Amino acid sequence: MNPIYFEFFKTTNIEDIILNFLETLIKTNRTYNFFVNWDKIRKNIDTYKIELNILNSLIGSNQFDEDLKTILRRYPEVIPLIPILLAIRDKELSIIDNFADIDFKIIDYDFTNKKLSEKEIEQIIEFFDKTGLKNFFVELASKSIQDYVLGIEVGMDTNARKNRSGHSMEQLLDPIIKKIVTKHKDNFEIVTQNNFNYLKKKYGIPINSRIKNRKADFIIIKNKNTFINIETNFYSTPGSKPQEIVDSYIERQNELKENGIDFIWISDGYGWKGQKNQLYKAFEKIDYLLNLHFVREGLLEEILWKI
C-alpha cells in the first residue's frame, strides 16, 4: 500500500485503511437531477412543437384515415414524429406483418422527413391502424398530443438513467476537482471527457495506440509535465463486479504508466461491502484508490501535490 495513506490517516495498519474505506461508503450517488433530464425533454418537445399541433387535429376525427392522408401529403415534416408516438426514436422500422402466416412478410417503414408516395401513405395508414395509434387518436386522446408526447419523453428519459448513473460520480467529483485546480491554478490544469491522444497533440508526449483513443473521466496536467488520469465508478449493490473490475484497473494503471501517466481510481458504493479481499488487492496493486469520503477529507488534493 502506498505510504501516503499511513501518513494521511496517521496509522501504520493497512486494516485501518480498509475498514475506513468500507465504513465511509455511501449508499447512492443519485442527486436530484438524476431522475429526469427536463432540459433535454423540453428541447425535444420544442423541436416538434408545430408538428404536434398539426397532429392535434386528428384527435376524435370522424374520418381519421382521410385526415391523416391529407396531413401526410401536406405536412411531411410530421413523419419523423410518428415513431415517437410509440416511444421509439428509430426512424426506420421493420415489422413482421403476420407471423402466423407461413409466408409472412416483413414490412419496412421509413419515417424520415420526405414526400411520400401514395403507396407509402397507405402503408402508414395501415401502421396507425395495426399499432393502435388510430384507436388512440379517435378513442383515447382528449386534448393535447403535446402532453402525451411529454409523458413519452419522460418515460424514454428514464431509460437513460443507467448512463446517468455512470456519470453521477463524475458530476459529484467535478466541482471538487475543479475547486482543487482553481485553488492551485498556477500548477494544475484539468481536461474532462477527452481521449489521451489530446495529450500527444497538445503536449507532444508519446501515447501508444492501445490507449490513444480511450476517453478519460478527468486528466490533470501538473506543471505542464506531469499527467494524471482520474477514473470514477460506483457500485450500488453487492456482486461479482468489483472482483472483475479490479484486475482491469490494475491493467489500466500499467498501461498508463507505460505512457508516463499516473493513475487515480475513485470508487464508491455499497457494492464494495463484503469485498475486503478485493480491496486489499486493489490497495496493494493500485497506487491511489479513494472513495468520496477520502476525497472530501482532502486525500485527493494531497495525492495531486505528492505525485
The CATH number assigned to the domain holding 231 equals: 3.40.1350.10
Work out the average pLDDT over 7-30: 93
Of the candidate ranges 54-63, 90-99, 265-274, 283-292, the one whose mean pLDDT is the lowest: 90-99
Question: Which pLDDT value is given to residue 178?
Answer: 94
C-alpha dist (Å) from residue 250 to 51, 119, 244, 246, 293? 52, 59, 11, 6, 22
Q: Dihedral of CA 69/71/77/81: which sign?
A: negative
Give Cβ neighbours of residue 198 (< 8 Å, ≥ 6 apart).
191, 219
Residue with cell 498556477: 186
Domain boundary among 158, 186, 215: 158
Question: Which pLDDT value is given to residue 37?
Answer: 79
Claim to verify: residue 278 and residue 239 sit in the same structural domain:
yes
C-alpha dist (Å) from residue 211 to 67, 125, 199, 206? 56, 51, 11, 11
Q: In what order do the strands lie in the sheet with 215-222?
A: 188-195, 215-222, 226-234, 261-268, 289-290
Claim to verify: residue 113 and residue 57 sit in the same structural domain:
yes
pTM of the entire predicted model: 0.73
Per-residue pLDDT band at 155 (split at 50, 70, 90):
confident
Q: Which has the closest alpha carbon to 56: 69, 66, 45, 71?
A: 71
Claim to verify: residue 186 and residue 152 sit in the same structural domain:
no
- Tally of domains within the chain: 2
Claim to verify: residue 206 and residue 285 sit in the same structural domain:
yes
Claim to verify: residue 206 and residue 283 sit in the same structural domain:
yes
166 has a pLDDT exceeding 80? no
Claim to verify: residue 140 and residue 165 sit in the same structural domain:
no
Question: Could you tell me which residues are beta bridge partners of residue 263?
Answer: 229
Domain boundary among 136, 158, 180: 158
Claim to verify: residue 27 and residue 165 sit in the same structural domain:
yes
240 has a pLDDT exceeding 60? no
Claim to verify: residue 194 and residue 215 sit in the same structural domain:
yes
Cell numbers placing 21: 474505506
| Count of alpha carbons within 13 angstroms of residue 42, beta-carbon side | 3
| Count of alpha carbons within 13 angstroms of residue 222, beta-carbon side | 14
Determine the Cα–Cα distance for residues 188 and 58; give it in Å rounded to an integer: 59
Claim to verify: residue 19 and residue 100 sit in the same structural domain:
no
Determine the Cα–Cα distance for residues 268 and 86; give it in Å rounded to an integer: 37
Per-residue pLDDT band at 195 (split at 50, 70, 90):
very high
Domain membership of residue 142 as a residue range: 38-158
